[in-house]
Amino acid sequence: MNQNTTDAIKELLYKMADDLLIIGHRNSEWTGLGPILEEDISFSSMAQDKIGQAQALYVLLNELGEQEPDTVAFMRNANQFHNSQLVELPNGEYDFSLVRHFLFDHADQLRFEALANSSYEPLAKVARKVKGELKYHVFHGNTWFVKLGSANEESHNRMQAAFNEAWNYALGMFEPSKNEDLLIGEGIFEGEETLQEKWLANITPYIIKAGISIPSSETWKPVYGGRVGNHTNHLSPLVEEMSEVFRYDPTAEW
Amino acid sequence: MIKSLDPRITRAEINLENTIEPLRDLDQWETYEVFHQKKRGDQHMHVGIVHAPNAEMAFIFGKEQFGRRGLSVNIWVVKTRDVYVSDYEDSDIYDTVPEKNYREAGGYKVMDKINKFKKGF
Amino acid sequence: MYGNAYIDPNDKATAMTAGEDPKKLEEFEARIARGEKIEPMDWMPKEYRKQLVRMIEQHGHSEIIGALPEGTWITRAPGFRRKLALMAKVQDEVGHAQLLYSAAETLGKSREAMINDLITGKSKYSNVFNYPAFTWADACIIAWLIDAGAIINQVANAKGSYGPYCRALDRICTEESFHLKYGHDNVVTLATGTPKQREMVQAALTRWWPPIMHFFGPSDKISNHTEILMRWKVKMATNDDMRQQFLNMYVPKIWDLGLTLPDENLKKNAEGKWEYTEPDWEEFKRVINGGGPCNAERLAVRRNAEERGRWVREALNTTESKYIVPLA
């Protein structure tokens, strides 16, 4: 594999892994504090899945010469993270957390689905392995999104407001990379543009069913920057908090 | 506001003296009985209940509460109120006279006849 | 994770069977004596029901409140393995609350009523969770030693007489064995780690020792009341027996790691019994009655969580919903 290809794969892996780690971390903040015991358990399972998936991708990075997964995850500063800004936003209330989960997980499922056929076999293997987890996540997201979107006036209004708040950030998940052509050309990944089209097609029926309206497309302003290390001021405290113990004695095995 | 050792709690800006309305009846929804099949070929077994507002969510909850360590291949959920339950007080309804050996394998002993028949050859 | 149920020593034994049908009571006690389980729709003495509801409910509350001190470290657990394991552990505690509340519901108290009694402070939960988890090492000590105490209690109670509680405990005990291993692994890692880690874990152990000694509760007054509860297989072992069992299993393991315990009188005597400085039971009572360092925070956090989730629950409530007591 030539250097350009390796760099492109690393970039892809970093953005995916960072997305998964940060959203898993955010979602884990609900553990023990969820709206009802049963949902608390389900949401925590999915947060664990996300962090586990992130770890699997950091392992691939490690095989490509990057540092150990723990070091990569717990010793970088916020501006070295490549996650989209969507996932770093604070949880807000359960409406925002659910809307984000719905929007993110559809994209995540499609991304892994495409990667299951990637010419980069190690990633294809991970993608095939997580298929079942993602199916549950998306089923969970769809069910909650549709039910709360259409339940009563308060829940509808809350879900619509959360949706409006999340929308441009969600579009930011598909920030094009400088390596799009290479990744597509070598059959590694289908590219962000295709992914976004599929994503829109997949989420639209549920959005309609939920009675939620999508902002008109001329107002869309995707929030880019996360992929190249530009973040909201929410990420830095998150990363500091996450690595507080790890950094307390970096020479230690925890 | 609570200044907690838990940063999650501090961020939630919780008033230590908060008071809330008590939870009303059905706040926690009704219950579904959950049945898991451990592997194909097995019977579904009752594993417990979940509180849920509808059947899909009962499935979503039942899967994680009772199957998160990967011990099932299929789930049924049914509203508790749709289950007909017999009464333990009536447990004598299960008693039956023991002389019904005509429907037990042990009620049929043919060897005596066969042996007698063979002796007659 | 669990703390021993707090049984009010002032309950009068004579009142326990007053007014019960003697024939039914006899059949009920005979069933238990034969080792059979009692099921939700069976006849049972009012006091049996009352004590079980109180005990299972307190156990459930302890799980949901117990998720808080450990949850303190979810967002800061060091490294993937610890982060994932702690999330799974706290999730299990929430799951245990669900199982226990469900078991208590079969006795006729709704989950709403139990939560209401928790958040208004009417019901108790294990005293240990009114203490703070200052450092990562505190969470590790909780995971090892509090869960170890919980297992002793739960294994005993799993042999009790009430079917739904026993079934819940069987499931819980399986998960607790992961917690215990996880906790021990964490403490061993810290105790055999760098000087900073060792210092951390020793400090946490010293802080947690008094609450751990309180964990099983004061010596039982050997009263008729206790005797009846033991005959009914509601209470399965005395507090002192459980404390002895705990000390016997874990003090050597703690000393193996070269850690010290803040009680110079702690030793095993010639008869094989553990001797220790009598815990401060006045402090125990003060904390149980709301005077501990975290009581107010714990309940305020629970109230807040219930309140923030209310719109979600209300939105999905449908008019045709109808609550009936779960079956098992």
Q: How far apart are the first and last CA of chain C?
A: 22
Lowest mean pLDDT among C139-148, C163-172, C176-185, C215-224: C215-224
Lowest mean pLDDT among A61-75, A124-138, B103-117: B103-117
C269/C260 Cα distance (integer angstroms): 18
Q: What is the pLDDT of residue B3?
A: 95
- Mean pLDDT, residues A122-144 taken together: 98
pTM score of the predicted model: 0.95
Q: What is the pLDDT of residue C83?
A: 98
The fraction of chain A above a pLDDT of 70, given in percent, is 100
CATH of B22-94 among 2.60.40.10, 1.10.10.410, 3.10.20.520, 3.20.20.140: 3.10.20.520
The answer to whether the CB of A99 falls within 8 A of the CB of A159 is: yes
> Is residue C282 over pLDDT 60?
yes
A198/A205 Cα distance (integer angstroms): 12
pLDDT band at residue B97 under the 50/70/90 scheme = confident
| Closest by CA position to C71, among listed B9, A37, A92 | B9
Q: What is the pLDDT of residue A251?
A: 84
Radius of gyration, alpha carbons of chain B: 28
A38/C225 Cα distance (integer angstroms): 37
Mean pLDDT for chain A? 97
Residues in CB range of B59: below 8 A, 6 or more apart: B75, B77
Question: Three-state SS for B72?
Answer: coil
The fraction of chain B above a pLDDT of 70, given in percent, is 100
- Mean pLDDT, residues A103-110 taken together: 98
B55/B41 Cα distance (integer angstroms): 24
Q: What is the pLDDT of residue C13?
A: 62
Expressed as residue numbers, the domain containing A189 is 3-248
- Mean pLDDT, residues A66-85 taken together: 97
Q: Cα distance from B38 to chain C (closest Cα, Å)? A: 15
Nearest CA in chain C to B3: C297
- Mean pLDDT, residues C149-175 taken together: 96
- Mean pLDDT, residues A174-199 taken together: 98
Q: What is the pLDDT of residue C181?
A: 97
Q: Which domains does chain C have, with CATH numbers?
A: 14-307 (1.20.1260.10)
Note the helical H segments in chain A. Answer: 3-28, 37-63, 69-75, 85-88, 94-115, 121-129, 131-150, 153-171, 180-185, 192-209, 235-242, 244-248
Q: What is the pLDDT of residue C12?
A: 63
C306/C295 Cα distance (integer angstroms): 17
pLDDT band at residue A57 under the 50/70/90 scheme = very high
Whether residue A236 lies inside any domain: the answer is yes
pLDDT greater at residue C10 or residue C305:
C305
Lowest mean pLDDT among B46-50, B96-100, C170-174, C258-262: B96-100
| Whether C136 and A245 lie within 8 Å, measured CB to CB | yes
Q: Which of A44, A94, A101, A238 to mutate to test the interface with C (most CBs of C within 10 A)?
A: A44
Say if strands C267-268 and C274-275 run parallel, antiparallel, or are unpaired: antiparallel
- Mean pLDDT, residues C279-306 taken together: 95
Q: What is the pLDDT of residue C10?
A: 56
The answer to whether the CB of C107 falls within 8 A of the CB of C49 is: yes
* C chain contacts of residue A48, beta-carbon cutoff 8 Å: 84, 87-88, 91
A147/A140 Cα distance (integer angstroms): 11
* Cα-based distances in Å from C311 to A99, A155, B55, C218: 15, 7, 20, 42
List the structure tokens of B86: 């017999």
A137/A47 Cα distance (integer angstroms): 10
C50/C186 Cα distance (integer angstroms): 39
Mean pLDDT for chain C? 93
| A242-252 pLDDT per residue, tens | 999 999 998 89
Question: Which amino acid appears at position B81 of this protein?
Answer: R
Q: What is the pLDDT of residue C327?
A: 83
Q: How many domains does chain A have?
A: 1
- Domain spans of chain B, in order of start: 22-94
Question: Which amino acid appears at position A137 of this protein?
Answer: H
List the structure tokens of C33: 């004596």
- Mean pLDDT, residues A79-92 taken together: 98
Q: What is the pLDDT of residue C103?
A: 98
Q: How far apart are the first and last CA of chain A?
A: 35
Q: What is the pLDDT of residue A56?
A: 98
List the structure tokens of B62: 């039942």
Residues in CB range of B107: below 8 A, 6 or more apart: B101
Q: Edge-to-edge strand order for the sheet containing B74-79?
A: B45-52, B30-37, B74-79
Nearest CA in chain B to A43: B64
> Is residue C88 over pLDDT 80?
yes
Lowest mean pLDDT among A134-138, B73-77, B107-111, C246-250: B107-111
In 10 A of CB C294, how many CB atoms? Answer: 19
Q: Chain-centre distance of CA A49, in angstroms?
A: 12
- Mean pLDDT, residues C236-249 taken together: 96
Is the minimum CB–CB distance between B76 and chain C shorter than 8 Å? no
| Whether B61 and A139 lie within 8 Å, measured CB to CB | no
Whether residue A254 lies inside any domain: the answer is no
Residues in CB range of C318: below 8 A, 6 or more apart: B53, B54
Nearest CA in chain B to C43: B89
Q: What is the pLDDT of residue A169?
A: 98
- Mean pLDDT, residues A52-79 taken together: 97
Residue with tokens 């992914």: A195
pLDDT band at residue C14 under the 50/70/90 scheme = low
Q: What is the pLDDT of residue C16?
A: 83
> Is residue C1 over pLDDT 70?
no
Stretch (H or E) spanning B84: none
B36/C237 Cα distance (integer angstroms): 34
Q: Cα distance from A147 to chain C (closest Cα, Å)? A: 7
- Mean pLDDT, residues A150-166 taken together: 97
Q: What is the pLDDT of residue A13?
A: 98
Q: What is the pLDDT of residue C134?
A: 97
Q: What is the pLDDT of residue C6?
A: 56
pLDDT greater at residue B16 or residue C328:
B16
* B chain contacts of residue C72, beta-carbon cutoff 8 Å: 4-6, 8-9
- Mean pLDDT, residues C181-188 taken together: 98
Q: What is the pLDDT of residue C15?
A: 75
Q: What is the pLDDT of residue C9?
A: 54
CATH number of the domain enclosing A60: 1.20.1260.10
Residue with tokens 């800004």: A85
pLDDT band at residue C17 under the 50/70/90 scheme = confident
> Is residue B86 over pLDDT 70?
yes
Whether residue A175 lies inside any domain: the answer is yes
**Contacts with C, A 130-149, CB within 8 Å:** 147-148
* C chain contacts of residue A41, beta-carbon cutoff 8 Å: 91, 94-95, 98
The answer to whether the CB of C313 falls within 8 A of the CB of A144 is: no
Residues in CB range of C152: below 8 A, 6 or more apart: C242, C245, C246, C249
> Is residue C3 over pLDDT 60?
no
